Amino acid sequence: MTVATVAAADLGAASGRVMLARVGRDLLDLTEVHRFANEPVQLGLTLYWDVLALYRGVLAGLREAGRAARAAGGPERGLDGIGIDSWAVDYGLLDASGALIGNPVCYRDRRTEGVPERVHARLGAERLYEVTGVQQLPFNTIYQVAAAHGTPAAAAARRLLLIPDLLAYWLTGQQGAELTNASTTGLLDAGTGAWSAELATAVGLAPGALPPLWRPGDLIGTLTPDAAARTGLDATVPVLAVGSHDTASAVVGVPAEGERFAYISCGTWSLVGLELDAPVRTAASHRAGFTNEAGVDGTVRYLRNVMGLWLLQECLRGWQEQGEPAELGELLAAAAREPGFVSLVDPDDAAFLPPGDMPGRIAAFCRRTGQPVPASRPALVRCILESLALAHARAVEQAQELAGRSVEVVHVVGGGARNELLCRLTADACGLPVVAGPVEATALGNALVQARALGTLHGTLTDLRALLRAHTAPRVHLPGTDRSGWDAARRRLSGVPSLP
């Protein structure tokens, strides 16, 4: 086929959407056909995802995508392919009949507090890093599974499916685990590329609970009669494995040329790093908190999770909840006029991870470290964005040192590419040009991998990126020449205990 008409379902921590993409050798266009909220639900002590609402949203989006594609003269069966990506690490459990056991728990739930320490005491943190190569974040699947061990739900579980795989199962009836997302769990052996039976058993998973692996580009299956009826699509429409970890798809969607680039996939999280051919699993890399996640085409996503725009999103959500909403555009414009380097926080401080009173927690950090508490909303936003820019620069610098590769440019993709102040501050802090965009890198990466699997596109990631460059118009932010403010901020923060 010369044009592939595909749907990319992209589920984020705050919203999900379905995009309709038309991809050809000289064509790449993307339209959002459906967007729906994704709000975790606190019930008793546990924070859950409403995964059935997500499934409903995906069905509605696919219906809309098929309708729009047909109206535009697309394929008679509705779509040529469907790909699903979402945030990582979270999962649903299936019982022996294949039914979902309860709602998946959100990775920001507090059930894993203290669990990594327990797991490390038994298995050894260094050894775990050598085996999995994964940054030891408290919410990694391995710690969530360990936290739930001994509960009735865990005892009944026969299968563990990551979120995109769970939705693919409901659409096709096929069970599997897509590799890029599987690599975030802390249960995959990075050396062999297979699940580690030893680690799975050690945290109490039933034998066979981890399903066979799919690689991006594999056919997962075609729609079940039920899914076909609910979406108005033909039952022959294939669901294809893509980089089902949203960050893996976002990295495909980085319009870079050559290999001397760093990327920041910037949304709720900032995923900051490099694309490598081989993992870096040194002790120094472990100490610096870098991960080696699997990328598309056997690449390694060597990156660090920086807490990202979550800090700002949580402030906005809190103000909204109190009935005093802020208008983001105005707030950012006001923040740009604020004086710089007044107060800085470490965005990665564990105190910022759960939902809740973010301005209060930032104020507490400032008090604890002897800095002025931001006196207004614009001052608070300035503090957040400067702190993020500094954390971005630190991660870009460390990634280069640890991997032994220097970069010439930093690509910012995802929603954060829209935030000009953040991009400018990041360029200044890194001392490198920032190329901002596309905002829709994840959906584009998802669609490009599908189009290649369908035979419409050919070639490597470099070839896919050439198509991206021809059809997107990223914005370049050059760094300022005066580095003194940033260097002084770095020195000042080196005295803060939680910062390196």
Q: How far is the CB of 88 from ligand LFR (least distance, A)?
A: 4
**Given the complex with ligand LFR, which of 290 and 486 has the nearer CB atom?**
290
Indicate the residue among 105 and 379 with the shorter CB distance to ligand LFR.
105
> DSSP H helical segments within 46-140, as ranges?
51-71, 115-123, 125-132
Distance CA 489, CA 493 (A): 6
CB 91 within 8 A of CB 122: no
- What is the closest distance, in whole angstroms, from the C-beta atom of residue 327 to ligand LFR in the complex? 25
CA distance 287 to 306: 15
CA distance 250 to 443: 7
**Nearer to ligand LFR among residue 81 and residue 104 (C-beta):** 104
Q: How far is the CB of 248 from ligand LFR (least distance, A)?
A: 9
Radius of gyration of the chain (CA): 22
Residue 271 or 468 with smaller CB distance to ligand LFR: 271
Whole-angstrom distance, CA of residue 88 vs CA of residue 265? 14
Q: Which of 404, 365, 369, 373 is nearest to 493 (CA)?
A: 369
**Smaller CB distance to ligand LFR: residue 195 or 269?**
269
| Residue 405 phi, psi dihedral angles, 5° rounding | -135, 130
Q: Which of 80, 85, 246, 346 is labelled catalytic? A: 246
Q: Please, what is the minimum distance in Å from the beta carbon of residue 296 to ligand LFR?
A: 14
Pairing of strands 300-306, 409-413: unpaired
Q: Is 165 a catalytic residue?
A: no
- Quickly count: other Cβ atoms within 10 Å of residue 94's Cβ: 21
Q: How far is the CB of 27 from ligand LFR (least distance, A)?
A: 28
What is the Cα–Cα distance from 370 to 38, expressed in whole angstroms?
Answer: 37
- Least gap, CB of 254 to ligand LFR (angstroms): 14
Give residues in contact with ligand LFR (CB under 6 A). Answer: 87-89, 107, 245-247, 268-269, 271, 305
Q: Which C-beta is closer to ligand LFR: that of 74 or that of 164?
A: 164
The total of other beta-carbon atoms located within 10 Å of residue 471's CB is: 16
Rounded CA-CA distance 162/187 in Å is 12
Please give, one letter per residue, the 3-state secondary structure of 304-331.
Answer: EEECCCHHHHHHHHHHHHCCCCCCHHHH
Residue 381, SS3 per DSSP: helix
Residues annotated as part of the active site: 246
